[in-house]
Structure 1
Amino acid sequence: MEYDDDQSFKPDPVFTNSRPKWVDDNNCTNCHKCRTQFTLLLRRHHCRRCGLVFCQKCSSNSVKIPQLNYNFVPVRVCDDCHRNLRF
């Protein structure tokens, strides 16, 4: 099942102070952004901000997110969340 088919999960477009529910790995066969299919060599990566699943290319940024209690170590975020989190 693709993410788009799963109407039960929608990331909150407004930034909140709670960590998002991660999309289940078993439900994701393709990158949410570029639609590249995941394989044994092309791994899935969850964005710590929105909880969606991306390939390395579409989630290559890391930032600290104090609002989600990621204070000390930068964590992986997708390109869209990275643009939204920049100050």
Structure 2
Amino acid sequence: MSIDGGRLNAHNQRTKDFRRRKDGKIKGSTKRRATSNEKIEFDSIDPVELEKIKNAIRKKVAKRRRIDVLLLIISGIIAVVLFFLFTEKYSS
């Protein structure tokens, strides 16, 4: 009879099974890697269309950044106002 009640054996079995299933897969994904003879061919994209897409993404990011900064400033102002209100109320 084993000392650990078979828990170590079960752990080793799970580890081996995980390594066996992991072989050939990209980390964090269920997709398998392409072998050396399988080349992935991407569709060619028009440079003008690509630039339009990039500009649209940049505009969205800039808008989100402005909103985040504005909300941060507003929350800071509210925090300062509340701080002064409570310190004046309890200082007397």
- TM-score of the superposed pair, with normalisation by structure 2: 0.16
Q: Which has the higher helix share?
A: 2
Q: Which has the higher strand share?
A: 1
- TM-score of the superposed pair, with normalisation by structure 1: 0.16
